[in-house]
Amino acid sequence: QNLPGKTAFITGGASGIGLGIAKALLGAGMNVVIADIRDDHLAAAEAELAGGDRVLPLKLDVTDRAAFAAAADAAEARFGKLHILCNNAGVAVVGPTELATFADWDWVMGVNVGGTINGIVTVLPRILAHGEGGHIVNTASMSALVPVGGTTIYSCGKAAVTSMMECMRPELEARGVICSAFCPGAVQSNIAEAGKTRPADLAETGYAEADKRRASGGNFMHLYQTKEEVGERVLQGILNDELYILTHSEFLDGVRERGEATSAAVQTHLPENPDYKQTFAMLFRNPAI
Ligand code: NAI
């Protein structure tokens, strides 16, 4: 990737991880569009980035498809072409699975998975159309790879956006678009405030009590990585064309255990059918299909 002068569109780009990514990409000479649902975050981020004409703050709810297309139009009107898409906007609920309401599921999946789908459908054709190549980074989480109790809704959404990058990577690589799944551990951010942007029609939650208990359980923010650290990690992952952009070594055992457990579960006692293997490879590894 030759980044200077090119343009990145970062959802949830006005706070936490998205802002860290914006800082790193701006530092690498890119124009950055920070698209975010919160006006206060947009104003503070614009001041913090201090990037002048190379920063375009845009108000956007990623679940609104028409607004997403309008935001992409506005970004192209300002910078010409979009090259990097960071589907990063995200929200979370945490607690026992049986307490989740439909609204808890719909809100988190709507933003974290639906918003990412909207980003792909809106921006990928624009990147392919200009033919200069590009990169898509979905912000997932270590919790997509390492099971964490009480995070069912959040983690299965993160697994979905990880899988999205794994599937799209071989399909798009040859056409110059690289796909990466960014899976960080805990990062200093404002995600604990996510409820402030929860829509009224999805307000009914089963986690009010669990949230209160967690809020009184202590603040561990000082143990987390900073937005600058993870922003630089994403930049490095983009420059190196990494499929998995991972952080925190504390999760290495968990990542390894999952790989070992899934490998061990394959039915290796059954004979392998070479025809099936070849056909499968032909059908699903061929990007033209
Ligand atoms: P954050 O709350 O600081 O930043 C997220 C930004 O997204 C906020 O500015 C928020 O206003 C915006 N946003 C929320 N809903 C939106 C919507 N519907 N449309 C547009 N913008 C919206 O939180 P953080 O932690 O930086 O989160 C960024 C991403 O990183 C999320 O996808 C989160 O799930 C993921 N993540 C966070 C981790 C952490 O420890 N903070 C760890 C692993 C992943």
Separation of alpha carbons 214 and 246, rounded Å:
26
Tokens of 111: 């933003």
Give me ligand 1 centre to Cα 187, in Å.
10
Domain assignment present for residue 289? The answer is no
194 lines ligand 1 (CB under 6 A): yes
Q: How many domains does the chain have?
A: 1
Ligand 1 atom 23: the closest Cα is on which residue?
Answer: 191
Residue bearing tokens 């028409």? 66
15 lines ligand 1 (CB under 6 A): yes
Question: Which secondary-structure segment (H or E) carries 183?
Answer: strand 177-183
63 lines ligand 1 (CB under 6 A): yes
Domain assignment present for residue 2? The answer is no
pLDDT tens for each residue of 184-237: 999 999 999 999 999 999 999 999 988 888 788 888 889 999 999 999 999 999
Strand order of the sheet with strand 244-246? 55-59, 31-36, 7-11, 84-87, 134-139, 177-183, 244-246
% the chain with pLDDT above 70: 98
Q: Is the pLDDT of residue 102 over 90?
A: yes
CATH of the domain at 94: 3.40.50.720
Which atom of ligand 1 sits closest to the CA of residue 190?
A: 3
Domain assignment present for residue 149? The answer is yes
| Side-chain-side CA neighbours of residue 25 (13 Å) | 31
pLDDT band at residue 288 under the 50/70/90 scheme: very low
pLDDT tens for each residue of 36-75: 999 999 999 999 999 999 999 999 999 999 999 999 999 9
Average per-residue pLDDT for the chain: 95
Q: Is the pLDDT of residue 1 over 70?
A: no
11 lines ligand 1 (CB under 6 A): yes
- 275 or 9, higher pLDDT: 9
Across 18-32, average pLDDT: 98
Say what the pLDDT of residue 249 is.
95
pLDDT band at residue 289 under the 50/70/90 scheme: very low
Print the domain residue range for 220.
Answer: 7-284
Q: Identify which of 187, 196, 228, 234 to mutate to test ligand 1's pocket (most ligand atoms within 8 A of the CB).
A: 187
